[in-house]
Structure 1
Amino acid sequence: MHPAHSTAQRSLPPPARWRQLLDAVLYSSVWLSVAALGLMWATFLFWGVHISARLGGLIFAATLFLYNLDSVLPYKHGQLPGATRRKQWIRAHRPQLLTLTVAAGAVAGVLYLTDARLLPLTLFGGHLALISVLYSMPLVRRHGRWRALRDLPLLKVFLIAYVWAAVTVWIPALYLGRDWASPVVLVLFARRFLLILALALVFDIRDYSKDRLTGTHTFPGVLGSRATKWLGLVALLGAALLVPPGVSVPHAVALVLPLALAAAVLWYAEESRPDYYFALLTDGMMVVQFVAVWLAVG
């Protein structure tokens, strides 16, 4: 680091230093990786089983790898730069993000290869990894722009919801030797799918103008923002009604109450909201779900 830059860093007032730290945690996908770990942990708590530290570390590292991979892909450099705080931070820290991406991928690989209970899940986990990589990877060039899986009309929110629900419900179930198609597991999967679907719609609202410029058809672009919010509320209502059988009253409340907070975040989402509304608050709804379950069963 350049000495002048170090001096400038030390001279920053405490609020500015804290904001820099917050930006690094949010825009490097560390916060999102914590959310993925929390949702998986909540699934283990449902069965009263301690989460495997190795599996938890794998999910954290793999999430960190996949989401930062999207930021450092070379084809991204030629896209519209945008003026959001998040995009500015990513452009300014691409070398550090590249290092973090490589390190996270290496850690995920080591944790996976050294856990005998994960190796039988290779085929199942492989299709989730394939979807995650192809989600942003350029596949075809159309009208002068590279198109990825996420650019298929109205598909991206369902891809996100499916992968997150499968990773945080089906993988723990299979890891513990449970039937992925049993009624209880399917209920957990469905309510997790609907929660993530609603949160993904919030990010579609955020990206409304960008998606229109790039020709990506999303629910806000097709239905409008207000109808998209109603669609998300229906998804959250569905999740609230899907309470797994046999859970205690405190656990049932812990499963449902965070959905009300998610509904408020969805309803007040606007494209003009600051980046923190999405990166901190919206993604934070997944952390809230974990904390609520942990307090209920702890």
Structure 2
Amino acid sequence: MLRGLFNFIIFSSLYVACCAILMIWQTNTLLQIRDINEAYYFFVFCSTICSYNFHWYLTPADYSTSERILWGARHKTLQLVLCALGALGAAYGFWLLREQWLPLSGAAVLTFLYSAPKVPHRAFIWLRKIAIGKTIFLTAVWIYVTTLLPVFIEKQPYSPTILFLTLHRFFLVYAICILFDYRDLESDKKEGIRSLITILSASGLKKLYVSSLVLAAIFALVLFPVDGWMLTAVLLAPVAITALLTRYAISNRSDHFYYFVLDGMVMLSALLHFTITALS
């Protein structure tokens, strides 16, 4: 029963939606956004549930041994229900934030582009041929929604902190996406979806991955003046752990490892930050 509950939390995308909420909290805290729009938390949570369940509903299980994909194949109705409920919640959140319709629309477009190649219609099939599209779209969505949109909505003035936090998160999430792309190499080839993994050599991919982690670490160090070693330590933690897990990730195909541990790396610094703040 506990395993079934754990699978539901992970595979229904409730877990990843909570990851997004924590990252937004950290953005608001670091940038000292005081007039936090709570409707945005609701909008992002519902949008994440909708978009991820839509994505996995479209993912075929014909040639997969993935536990998540097979779980989705057994729970198609549940995925549609969660997608519909998420869409209704997102629509309501969009209405509450309607004055910010333009930046919110940008998030919707980026989110759709990530899943569009899976739509079985010739109008979208050409997107499968776009090199690196899958990786770039997913990374762009996460950074735009969790880091930039709160700034746009609350009309925060530009600051170096915004830039460095955005770059730190971008390269961390990008490195994690590379590991996911490497794992999904065979299924992407069978679906005709191109990514960096399908066009780069092994050495080229390794250089890109290592460079992304190094840049994530550098921009974490650059943020030292914002809150001293506490912030630097929590930002470096997921970078260091991801690096240590690389060899295991490459040789392992466990969905629980990828969708719980690796997905958790995107919000680990926010979770540590929240815990330290709550205890202090």
What is the TM-score of this pair, normalised by structure 2?
0.87
Q: Which of 148, 151, 172 does residue 195 from structure 1 map onto? A: 172
Superimposed CA distance per residue, residues 185-208 of structure 1 (whole angstroms, 9 cap, x where no aligned partner): 122211111111111111101101
Superimposed CA distance per residue, residues 98-144 of structure 1 (whole angstroms, 9 cap, x where no aligned partner): 11111111112112212xxx3232112212211211322238639xx
Root-mean-square deviation (Å): 2.3
Give 1:148 deviation, angstroms.
5.8
Give 1:276 deviation, angstroms.
1.0
Report the identity percentage. Answer: 25
Give 1:169 deviation, angstroms.
0.9
- Residue in 1 that maps onto 2:134: 156
**SS, match of residue 95 in structure 1:** helix
- Residue in 2 that maps onto 1:124: 103
**SS, match of residue 194 in structure 2:** coil
For the pair 1:69 / 2:46, whether they are aligned, the reply is no
Question: Matches of 2:210 and 2:162 in 1, distance apart?
Answer: 23
- Residue in 2 that maps onto 1:8: none
For the pair 1:264 / 2:248, whether they are aligned, the reply is no
- Residue in 2 that maps onto 1:168: 146
Give the unaligned 5+ runs of structure 1: 1-16
- Residue in 2 that maps onto 1:82: 64
Cα gap change, 1:151/1:37 in structure 2, threshold over 3 Å: closer, same or farther?
A: farther
- Residue in 1 that maps onto 2:26: 42
Q: Which of 121, 141, 144 does residue 122 from structure 2 map onto? A: 141
Cα gap change, 1:285/1:267 in structure 2, threshold over 3 Å: closer, same or farther?
A: same
What is the TM-score of this pair, normalised by structure 1?
0.83
Question: Matches of 1:72 and 1:192 in 2, distance apart?
Answer: 28
Question: What number of residue pairs does the alignment pair up?
Answer: 272
Question: Matches of 2:112 and 2:256 in 1, distance apart?
Answer: 26
Larger helix fraction of residues: 2
Question: Matches of 1:204 and 1:258 in 2, distance apart?
Answer: 19
**SS, match of residue 250 in structure 2:** coil
Question: Matches of 2:129 and 2:179 in 1, distance apart?
Answer: 17
Question: Matches of 1:151 and 1:39 in 2, distance apart?
Answer: 31
Give the unaligned 5+ runs of structure 2: none
Question: Matches of 1:22 and 1:183 in 2, distance apart?
Answer: 40
For the pair 1:183 / 2:146, whether they are aligned, the reply is no
Please identify the structure whose Cα radius of gyration is greater: 1
